[in-house]
Amino acid sequence: MYYLYILESKKNKRRYVGSTSNLKRRLLEHNNGQGGKYTHDNRPFVLIYYEAYINKLDAIQAEKFYKTGYGREILAGKLSHFLLA
CATH for 2-84 (3.20.20, 1.10.1610, 3.40.1440, 3.30.110): 3.40.1440
The pLDDT value recorded for residue 20 is 97
Q: What span, in angstroms and rounded, lies between the C-alpha atoms of 36 and 46?
A: 17
pTM here is 0.90
What backbone torsions phi and psi does residue 83 show, to the nearest 5 degrees?
A: -75, -25
Q: What is the pLDDT of residue 84?
A: 57
- Determine the 3-state secondary structure of 13 from DSSP: coil
Residue 65: phi and psi, rounded to 5, are -65, -45
At 24-59, the pLDDT tens digits run 999 999 999 888 888 889 999 999 999 999 999 999
Write the pLDDT tens digit of every residue in 56-70. Answer: 999 999 999 999 999
Enumerate the domain spans of the chain. Answer: 2-84
Does 23 have pLDDT greater than 70? yes
Residue 53: its H or E element? strand 45-53
pLDDT of residue 28: 96
Torsion of CA 55, 76, 80, 12, to 10 degrees: 100
pLDDT at 82 over 90: no
- Hey, is 14 helix, strand or coil? coil
